[in-house]
Chain A
């Protein structure tokens, strides 16, 4: 590694000293270069960790959170060619049951978005801080906003990239798409009413009535927030939904999940 620029010929003191200084310089440059390469490798490792490993860990932790609930797995839509139409839940449009707000970081519901075929059932847990909810548990419920089924705005947030990226495909959602939220006792079928991009400071999107933040809420709505554009914190992508109907989980699953509609 070190250069061997030996003084030749007359070389007594002066060339030798020159050689030592030269060696020292080369050595310093070499070490700095090696440190920079090392830093580059470590930064590359961070990218791998952030973009790949957090997904591996997040998906696993979220699957375990759903499993811990101990509920029947949500049915997966049968292929369109399925012979007989399966039994589906009867639409209930009266007053739905509303669960009480749970302790922080408690998983109390799951959600399935049929439009995102191939995505697993994701847990919904109380709280929206990254360390205890969004990073390990996926989808978080804004504390103080309505619970599923309630009049008001059931608001949730989740990562769009990394940590299992539950809302990765949020931009595929269009008005009318169903989102099926399940609690211990109830299926809630929400439908997308609108999507928009807002500033991170715009808390009105999670107000009880997101259309008129000052008003007393009259509708049973839901809101999903995630980052926008991807890999950026500049804006937020927001999806508003409204409750279509509900059904008890003791009966068959909603047609949005089992298919055959």
Chain B
């Protein structure tokens, strides 16, 4: 998968490496700002209140 990606990226090695680095950073930012906050409420280890309140 990643080998295929590497083969199909244009440019010399260092350009491909930069492209992949930027892509990885983009994925990390997307996760931190959107994906993880959306998933966190489904995780059952962080409830602090008593009773039925959410």
Write the residues of chain A forming the contact surface with B, with a CB cutoff of 8 angstroms.
1-2, 30-31, 34-35, 42, 45-46, 49-50, 53-54, 128-131, 134, 140, 142, 157-163, 167, 198, 200-203, 205-206, 225-227, 231-233, 236, 238
Contact = CB atoms under 8 A, between A and B. Distances in A.
Given A49-B36, A233-B45, A198 B50 contact: yes
Nearest to B39: A46
A218 B32 CA distance: 48
Given A31-B1, A49-B32, A53-B32, A128 B53 contact: yes
Q: How large is the interface on B (under 10, 10 to 19, 20 to 34, 35 or more residues)?
A: 20 to 34
A226 B39 contact: no
A233 B53 contact: no
Q: Is the interface of B mostly helix, strand, loop or mixed?
A: loop
Contacts of B39: 46
Which of A2, A163, A233 is most buried by chain B, counting CB atoms within 10 A of its CB?
A: A233
B30 to A, nearest CB: 11
Contacts of A129: 53-54
Contacts, number: 81
Nearest to A230: B45
18 contacts: A2-B3, A45-B28, A45-B32, A46-B31, A49-B31, A50-B40, A128-B48, A131-B54, A142-B53, A162-B46, A198-B50, A203-B50, A205-B50, A206-B51, A227-B46, A227-B47, A233-B45, A233-B46
Interface in B21-54: 28, 31-32, 36, 39-41, 43-51, 53-54
Given A1-B3, A130-B41, A232-B45, A45 B50 contact: no
Contact of A30 (B1, B43, B50, B51): B1
B2 A34 contact: yes
Interface string B1-32: 11100000000000000000000000010011
A204 to B, nearest CB: 8
Given A34-B1, A131-B41, A167 B48 contact: yes
Contacts of A2: 3
Given A45-B28, A45-B36, A53-B32, 11 more contacts: A31-B1, A42-B31, A46-B36, A46-B39, A128-B53, A157-B50, A201-B50, A201-B51, A225-B49, A227-B46, A233-B44
Which of A34, A53, A129, A130 is most buried by chain B, counting CB atoms within 10 A of its CB?
A: A130
Nearest to B2: A34
B36 to A, nearest CB: 4
B5 to A, nearest CB: 10
A160 B54 contact: no
Contacts of B32: 45, 49, 53
A225 B36 contact: no
Given A45-B28, A49-B31, A130-B54, A142 B49 contact: yes
Contacts of A206: 50-51
B47 to A, nearest CB: 4
